[in-house]
Structure formats: C-alpha cells, structure tokens
Amino acid sequence: MLLSSPGSLVATSFESHPGDAAALLAGMLDSAMDGIITVDHTQRVVLYNRAAEKMFGWPRASVLGQPLDRLIPTRFQAGHGEHIRRFASTGVTSRRMGDGTVVHGVRANGEEFPMDASISQLNTADGKLYTVILRDVTDRVRAQEERSAFAAAVNAVREEEKTRVARELHDELAQSLTALKMDAMWLRDQADGAPASAHTKLTEMLAMLDHTIAATRRIAADLRPLLLDDLGLVPAIEWLAHTFEQRTAVVCRLSYDESMELPEPYATAVFRIVQEALANVAKHAGASEADITIERLPGRISLTVRDNGRGFLAGAPRKPQSLGLMGLRERAVLLKGQVEIDSEPGRGTCVKVSIPLADEVTGP
C-alpha cells in the first residue's frame, strides 16, 4: 500500500534494510553543495562531508574525531564554544549563525574565508549532536566589497564635479554678472539727458541682473555650498537649516557641538544626509517643526533629523522612483554607518544615522 506522505514512504521502504538508509544518507551528504559538519557535545567532529573537505582543504581522516578548532580562526575559537553553549541552552532546533552576517572559517593553507552558516541540534542516545551547514561566500563578499568601493568612487567623483561646477558658477558667472551690474548702474547714472524709456529699460535690466545673480548663487550653493569646503561643516549645516527655514517656513532647530568639525569624507556625508532628510521634510512631511541634532560621541558621529509632520509607513515597499532615502542609506553604509528610520502615519518622522569614525579621525 502507498502511504500518503513521502517522509513515511521513505521510512517504510527502508525499515527492512537499514543499511540502505545509511547509504542513501551518506550519498546525499557527500553530494550536497554545502559543507556539512556535525560535532558531538565535546565539540569533536563526527561527520564531515565532501563539500566541507573541499572548502577547508583538510581531508576527512584528519578532521574526524578532532576538535573543531582547526577550522576556526584563532581569534574566534573561544567565542565559538560560547556560541554553541548558548545555542544549546536555547533549545531552538536550528538557526542561522552570525546574527545575519557571515562567520569566518580558516582553510588548511591558513587562508580565512567568509561563510553563511546555520546550526541545528539534535538529542541522541549518545548526547547532543550539533550540525552546521556552511556555504563559502568568498565570491559574494568580494563582489559586495567591489560594489561598495565602486559606489564610493562614483560618489567622490560626483562630489568633485559638483564642487567644480559650483565654484565656476560662483567665481566666474556670478562675478561677471556683478561686474555687468556695476556697469549698468554706471550707465544709469550717466544717462541724465536720456529719454525716460531708456531709464525704465535700465532699471528693468538692473532688476533682472539682481535676480540672475541671486539665482546663480542659489544654484551654486544647492549644488554644493562652498562654505563646506571653505569654512567647514558647522557653517554649512547652519546655512542649510537657515535656507530650509526661509524656503519652507518650517521652524528648524539645530543643536550640535561647536567643536564638531569633521574631515572628509565625513563632512560631506553628514551634510548630504541632513540635506536629503530636510528635503523630505519640505516635500512630504507637512511639518511645522524640524529638529536637527548632531553629536560627536566617542568613536562615532550621530545625527538625527526629526519632524512633527504626517509620517509614513517606514516598512512599506519603496516607490521605484524614490531614491532619496536609498541614497541616504548608501552614504551611511559606505562609511560603515547605520540608518534607522522611525516613522508612523500621524506621528512624524525621525531619521537617525550613526557613523563610526576611523581611528585617524578620533586620534590616539
């Protein structure tokens, strides 16, 4: 008779031939693409499949019955034992290792490599067995690193480009327009005997020049405020908060530490993150107040932009054309930072970013 579930079908078929079941299992373990290693409660290896052999470079014979240590980089060995003990105490049957990140192994040739790992535990008559399933993710991690490096380089080039264009607009175009304005004023003052229509024309020209000079300065500053390069982060953020308030009529409070000057690439990242967060407040929040807080903490910089506007469902799927928050995250991640977006409809929005500072910046 055929049984309904495939699990019980297999068990039934092998009941009379247990050796076949063992052979089937051994074949499966050795054809698996992932490394599979089982250790007993004393942390000695009792099962080590072919993929694990390939991954670590140790033959089965030299690993079976041995402690797991030679597969783990020295600096993680103590932590690993502790991890297993804690996992045992949870009673959870299986879970991913490494808190969502990769874990590290070491090959016979001493090379370290990143792995995705999951662990499971099973109580047997001979005590607890722990099985880890491992996947070598060297290629994936390398590709990620290359993408990040590329993104950082693209970002740096874009910033340079913006700086150059902003400088030319400011130094060349705005200066020439100002000189033209001087000349037009001179003409107006010389043109006493000229017809009234010429005076009107000159007055209109002067108004137009004023407008164009202001527009040029504004475009240059929006591209990249030269303040940021010339005077530093604090004046640049002050300018940002001030122009935001003028353009939106949202009351903007800014609190920061006076001594909070940061070198590149931190200054630009902090500036751009605050700029994007404020742009969102202006565009989406309908807020009456916005608060910017920048704090230099030991070893890191923390910044918060909070508004009292309409909020949104931060977990909702992103609209494909919305790139602002993604860019903001990207900037933080490129500097190994973290972004937390706290928002709920009717509750305002809080964008919180924490960026670790490199040792050279923090000083000894």
Applying CB under 6 A, does 349 fall inside the site for ligand ADP? yes
Cα(92)–Cα(65) distance, integer angstroms: 25
Q: Quickly count: other Cβ atoms within 10 Å of residue 162's Cβ.
A: 15
Question: Secondary structure of 269-304 in the HEC alphabet?
Answer: HHHHHHHHHHHHHHHHHCCCEEEEEEEEECCEEEEE
Which one among 67, 324, 327, 356 touches Mg ion, defined by CB under 5 A?
A: 324
Which one among 128, 284, 300, 352 touches ligand ADP, defined by CB under 6 A?
A: 284
Cβ pair 97, 132 in contact under 8 A: yes
Q: Quickly count: other Cβ atoms within 10 Å of residue 99's Cβ.
A: 6
| 3-class SS of residue 114 | strand
Residue 71 C-beta: closest distance to Mg ion, Å: 47
> Toward Mg ion, which CB reaches closer, 48 or 244?
244
Applying CB under 6 A, does 281 fall inside the site for ligand ADP? yes
Residues 6+ apart with CB under 8 A from 280: 324, 325, 349, 351
Which one among 309, 329, 332, 357 touches ligand ADP, defined by CB under 6 A?
A: 309
The entry of ligand ADP, Mg ion, none that residue 307 binds, CB within 5 to 8 Å by partner kind: ligand ADP
Applying CB under 6 A, does 166 fall inside the site for ligand ADP? no
The entry of Mg ion, ligand ADP, none that residue 281 binds, CB within 5 to 8 Å by partner kind: ligand ADP
Of residues 202-261, those binding ligand ADP (CB under 6 A): none
Cα(103)–Cα(83) distance, integer angstroms: 12
Which one among 280, 304, 308, 343 touches Mg ion, defined by CB under 5 A?
A: 280
Residues 6+ apart with CB under 8 A from 123: none
Applying CB under 6 A, does 32 fall inside the site for ligand ADP? no
Q: Which spans of this chain sit near ligand ADP (rule: CB under 6 A)?
A: 280-281, 283-285, 307, 309-312, 319, 322-326, 349
Q: Which spans of this chain sit near Mg ion (rule: CB under 5 A)?
A: 280, 324
